[in-house]
Amino acid sequence: MHPAMHTDTERCVRAVQSKDARFDGWFFTAVLTTGIYCRPSCPAVPPKPENMVFHPSAAACQQAGFRACKRCRPDTSPGSPEWNARADTVARAMRLIQDGVVDREGVPGLATRLGYSTRQIERQLLAEVGAGPLALARAQRAQTARLLIETTALPMAEVAFSAGFSSIRSFNDTVREVFALSPSELRARAVRHGVKAPATPGVLALRLPFRVPLNPDNLFGHLAATAVPGVEEWRDGAYRRTLALPHGHGIVSLAPRPDHIACRLSLTDSRDLTLAISRCRRLLDLDADPVAVDEQLRADPRLAPLVDKAPGRRVPRTVDAAEFAVRAVLGQQVSTAAARTHAARLVTAHGTPVDDPEGGGLTHLFPGPRALAALDPGSLAFPRSRRTSLTTLIGALADGTLSLGVDSDWNEARARLAELPGFGPWTIEVIAMRALGDPDAFLPTDLGIRRAATELGLPSSPAALTARAAAWRPWRAYAVQYLWATGDHPVNRLPIP
């Protein structure tokens, strides 16, 4: 972890002088002599230390009057892993802002979700991130606008409103201020640099950045092996799935590349772009800091060979926490194939049909809690106790007594899940790991984990393994990925093209 790294001037200067990409997104360098701000890995000649000042966010740089560097494009660097590794109010606020809550509900909506006054939220964000919620949302709108300007042929007025701007004037002013170019100049520059809109109309082609290394095997292997027919598929070297979004729906294709994730995104309403990107990044754990994670896990001599063999494992997460919770119950004590079959039946009976614009096999959105509230428990082909677990979960999600959103308090969510019938430690922790995004979730009772522990000479009893795993904190969810990867299961392998 790097608490308030932007305040450690000496460390920041060293990172900039060495062009260390590991710190992209942790802090930003503003250059007093040029008025621009950069990511630490900017390829330009590093400025003199006396001309550098450091900020914790792109929004803070913009608020201080600096514009984005045209070479390193700091506004597109990976997000700070701090917001995914923490569960306090500021981290929850940042996750909500990344999901576009301020644009949809305003600052009062953000504060209500967090249970604080708007003044308290603004004060906490200013103290830690250097910018309030409106400035952070504005910076995100600017980044969304840039994506639409450079990767689509949409008219500028449509770009402005799709990115969340309330007027053409505020759109023009913000783009000029942040990028030192007008929207039309930004588009012309992208064309000169060979950026082209996809051949398929309505499809956006994006590059999702991440910190290296990234091992795609278990990440995409897990998603492909557990894919629910009609909602997810592996096709032509990419994981594809449908997305239920506030203004419509989308279909995304995600394919691993050495230095980015190739993303093809089709939306029925372009206002959902920010949220769709945020969900895809969360699904693939793209804002993780793999060097910090692997460094700590490698300190255990039993884990070190696993880390050295295939560093950079991520935790496969989800685009919809409620969907994952339902699927976790469907997967209790059954094979991966049986879990997919149960989920596919729910999708066919209760999911919303959609068209796949690229001719794939995606046919439905996964049904939400309200749609599933109408299901007949007698139609479920599994034991009565699990039917009760599923219907109780769906009811709690539908009436709001259980919240698993990005604003959730992880410990409170665990306590709520524990109150539901049939929710033992394994189910609760797998939901905490993949739906809530807790990087320290741990599954000591999992059969695959216990088998791996035995093979590696680690304690195999849950209590003893939990005691040993204390040294892996706060990254135990990543240790789970390395331990699972010792098994011969399709979730650990990229599908053969």
Q: On the CB side of 24, how many CA atoms lie within 13 Å of its CA?
A: 24
Helix (H) or strand (E) holding 453: helix 447-456
Residue 283 identity (one-letter amino acid) = L
Distance, first Cα to last Cα, the chain:
38
Helix (H) or strand (E) holding 53: strand 52-55
CA distance 386 to 212: 41
Based on the residue annotation, tell me whether 38 is a catalytic residue of this protein.
yes
| Token pair of 229 as six digits | 């027919």
| Token pair of 172 as six digits | 């023009």
Q: Which is catalytic among the residues 38, 61, 72, 263?
A: 38
Main-chain dihedrals φ then ψ at residue 53, nearest 5 degrees: -130, 155
| Token pair of 41 as six digits | 């890995």
Task: Please state, in angstroms and as integers, the Cα–Cα distance from residue 17 to each residue in 13, 48, 52, following that order.
Answer: 6, 9, 11
CA distance 431 to 439: 12
| 397 touches 325 (CB < 8 A) | yes
Residue 60 identity (one-letter amino acid) = A
| Token pair of 287 as six digits | 């804002």
Query: Would you list the DSSP string of 187-213?
Result: HHHHHHTT----SSTTEEEEEE--PSP
CA distance 358 to 356: 6
Based on the residue annotation, tell me whether 263 is a catalytic residue of this protein.
no
CA distance 79 to 281: 9
Beta-bridged to residue 352, according to DSSP, are 365
Beta-bridged to residue 252, according to DSSP, are 241, 265
Helices (H) and strands (E) counted in the chain, each on its own, are 23, 11
| 150 touches 186 (CB < 8 A) | yes
Task: Please state, in angstroms and as integers, the Cα–Cα distance from residue 142 to each residue in 109, 291, 334, following that order.
Answer: 21, 30, 46
Q: Strand, helix or coil at 118?
A: helix
- Select from 223, 230, 226 the least CA-distant residue to 352: 230
Q: How large is the angle between the packed helices 133-151 and 183-192, nearest 10 degrees?
A: 50
Catalytic residues: 38, 446
